[in-house]
Structure 1
Amino acid sequence: MTPLIAFGEALVDMLSNRLDGAADDLPETFTPYAGGAPANVAVACARLGLPSRFLGMVGDDRFGDFLVEELARHGVSVENICRTREARTALAFVSRDAHGERRFDFYRPPAADLLYRLEHLPTGVFAEPAILHLCSNSLTDEAIAETTLSIADIARRGGTLISVDANLRTNLWPDNRVDIGRVTALLDHAHLLKLSRDELELLRGDHDVDSWLQWRLAAGVRMIVITDGAAPVIVHRLGKVIDVIPPDVTAVDTTAGGDAFVGGLLAQLAEHDVNAATLGDWCQDEARLRHAVELACRCGAFAVTRPGAYSALPTRDDLDAMY
């Protein structure tokens, strides 16, 4: 089974006890949950039985301790996590509406995850077959963006299968302005690309959807997955498109839904030992691809029915018990 390597931010989601617009006089409190999109994917894969490790940096503080402990508790290898006293572990205060949709207030920058550099990358980390997962939140600062794109270059040259989830958080970018060129550069390193419908609309700019998607496929992306909440998931690969209807559930907290989906999909690729060279052919078997996306949808549906991130991610037994 091909192992997963996730790189990027691990942070603490401070989840509000109160839904937006709720009419009560109780003081608002926040419960800490371990999170961060690439860290969530690492946990999602580990909970599905995939060997998984996380690369990144957290502060030498109590929240950094909390994240390392939680990652390890859920089966993720933490031996390559770096610690620093130069910045604190990032926090995200998360408020929810009645449908579980979130609003984020980030305490980042400064933050420890932004200080990771190529010198911290373990020697030979991509020497063996692996899946590397990345997100755009490690592009918001010029120095960490250079590190992220360099890691993607090294991994791609070594034949590693690269998964990218755009996972855009506009309020993490200076002046709330996403550097679309920088994000697109990362997307075009991917073999597997996951976008939400809203992210697609932002990133394509004035270009029509079909042209923009074809450019990504021409750049070497072998599969593009577009999610849109409860609407069908659309999967584009060379010359073909399929759609998959996700399960109908009542969302409580959508924090890790997309990450659970990605973890479920990557677990299917890992089980079949799919690599960068074989992903394109693997995607052409529609029945197999549809089954993989359906399982990923079930992972996402399970996660949004529970609060928090790591603890909301399903195991195999959880998926078997859904129906």
Structure 2
Amino acid sequence: MQKSFSESYKAAGVDVTAGYRAVELMKQHVARTMTAGSIDGIGGFGGMFELDMTGLTRPVLVSGTDGVGTKLRLAQIADKHDTIGIDCVAMCVNDIICCGAKPLLFLDYLAVGKNVPERVAEIVSGVAEGCVQAGCALVGGETAEMPGFYGVDEYDLAGFSVGVVDRAKVLDKTAICPGDAIVGLSSSGVHSNGFSLVRKVFGIGEDRSFDKQVPELSGSLLGTLLTPTRIYVKPMLALFEKIAVKSVCHVTGGGFYENIPRALTKDVNAVIHKGSFPLPPIFPLIQKEGNIPERDMYNTFNMGIGMIAVLPAAQADEAVRILNGCGERAQIIGEVMAGDGSVVLD
């Protein structure tokens, strides 16, 4: 069989053989993500997945897509590429779980200035780890070599996920009423949002001159900022099994003020008690270094809470117990009051 190779294309900056090598290197990582619904490995024209209809009366597919954003620049500066894929998966599956859906499959899109197979495989290893944490299969993806569009050490990463939930179990925020409790799940740090502001505050350019050991961070600034986004899928699925959760919010870009209202109705407010949850030290550092008003902090970052659940007050303590039993740091952080769909911080 004649192997695919183009000397002319390689001279233009695209090495198709490097792409084949990258696929071979990533196969071991993709294999870790295979679930019962997985039909075929990577390399085909489409990723196939068999939907198990057991227990589903009216299955609803829920999809989500997102990228990592300018946090990618930090991974490239650090030459550390094995965790950024976790962020990519997290930004998609954490959105899907807000509808009550279980993520089933994931696909990634990686655009590179130069295809370095080992680096591509390292990036995909993080995507695979994120899929394992979310319990979904990595069924396919695309690596595009784009010389002249990206620098040789630059790349962009985005993803797409599909989940399923029975129609009767789709979370219904219209059931929220005054007196409901708000439970927050702690974040692992900045996650993958607000990095344009982070980069401005710390003067992050094209090298590591900004990086330093910071005593209050118990480590380096770069290492802290590269901490992967926490994936909340499995703990939230466990919570749905036991608790009548009414609404869930993934706290991403836009922070509290933009995201929490999306999980509310127009006749209630979410009252959040700022002192009820631990504030990761990276946030006071960002605020101090950038001289940023407190409202802007809560309107940009997750401030230590990556996901919230609104549920009956009588079940709040049990919800915290379930989530903490799944390895989370959960706490009651507020309550619902009559209002106009706003967030109130006190």
Structure number with greater Rg is: 2
Both structures adopt the same fold (TM-score exceeding 0.5): no
Higher relative contact order (CA closer than 8 Å, sequence separation 6+):
2
| TM-score, with length taken from structure 1 | 0.33
